[in-house]
Amino acid sequence: MNREVLVYPNKLLRETSKDVMHFDAHLHTLLQDMYDTMVCREGIGLAAVQIGVPLNVVVINLVDDEGSQLIENLYEIINPVILEKDGLTIYQEGCLSVPGYYDEVERAAHIKISYYDRDGNRHEEEFTDLMAIAVQHEMDHLKGRLFIEKLSYLKRKKFEKEWKKKQKAGK
Ligand code: Y12
Ligand code: CO
């Protein structure tokens, strides 16, 4: 089911998410709803808190070199923990909770995380490139942080100005 996505400055987006304790049908419904919501809005990543569920659950489905968003490339990441990170990379990020705004953010270029899948199996995996960026972006949501909070003072001012103008125009 496609759910509503919370948009900045909704206070719920600032909540710290909690670990999933039960890998049951409720979790599987949440994962399906997150996938439906992400794909319907042309997103490549979504955290559960963005649909108002403050649990440590993330879905990421990158687009491949042919421009297809294949379900076999879907990652369902539950209770992730960063084990290692190194290097630096800069990427123009966007977020379904900050629609229409994109800006450059600096993140680790390589990460190693542990996480659980929908059946409660623990995994350790390393990511680079866009997947490393997406995982870090989504894990920030789990701590109640948005990418706009990583912008420089001046860029954040620019964002707030543009955002207020957009709200006034009713967009
Ligand atoms: C790299 C950087 C950021 C991420 C996090 C996941 N971000 C998204 O999935 C953003 C999606 C997005 C899609 C939009 O398009 C539509 O809504 C049709 C969009 O445009 C507007 O809202 C106007 C903004 C963001 C992963 C990897
Ligand atoms: Co986001």
Q: Ligand 1: which residues within 6 Å by Cβ? A: 41-45, 91, 93-96, 99-100, 130, 133-134, 137
Bridge partner residues of 92 (DSSP): 104
Scan for tokens 């620019």, then name that residue: 158
Q: Is residue 5's pLDDT more than 80? A: yes
CB atoms within 10 A of CB 165: 10
pLDDT at 171 over 90: no
**Which ligand sits closest to the CA of 47?**
2
Q: How much is the pLDDT for 78? A: 99
Q: Which amino acid is at 58?
A: V
Residue 6 has pLDDT above 80, yes or no: yes
Contact 52, 141 (CB under 8 A): no
% pLDDT > 70, the chain: 99
CA of 23 to the centre of ligand 2 (A): 24
pLDDT (tens digit, 9 = 90+) per residue, 128-138? 999 999 999 99
Question: C-alpha 27: how far from its chain's center?
Answer: 17
Element at 129 (helix H, strand E): helix 129-142
Predicted pLDDT of residue 170: 84
Choice from 5, 36, 44 to test ligand 1 binding pocket (greatest atom count within 8 A of CB) = 44
Over residues 85-108, the pLDDT tens digits come to: 999 999 999 999 999 999 999 999
Mean pLDDT, the chain, whole residue set:
97
Which residue owns the Cα nearest ligand 1 atom 13? 43
> Two tokens at 65?
């070199």
The strand ranges marked E within 26-171 are 45-47, 57-61, 74-86, 89-93, 103-107, 110-116, 122-128
Q: Are 46 and 53 in contact (CB under 8 A)?
A: no
CB 47 within 8 A of CB 31: no
Note the pLDDT tens digit of each residue in 30-59.
999 999 999 999 999 999 999 999 999 999
Q: Provide the pLDDT for residue 133.
A: 98
Query: To test ligand 1's pocket by mutation, which of 2, 42, 61 has the most ligand atoms within 8 angstroms of CB?
Result: 42
* Higher pLDDT, residue 170 or 94: 94
Query: Is it true that domain 11-170 has CATH number 3.30.1280.10?
Result: no
Q: Confidence band (pLDDT; 50, 70, 90) for 2?
A: very high
* pLDDT for residue 163 is more than 90: yes
- 98 in helix, strand or coil? coil
Distance, CA of 31 to chain centre = 13
For the chain, give every domain's residue range: 11-170
The yes-or-no verdict on residue 143 having pLDDT over 90 is yes
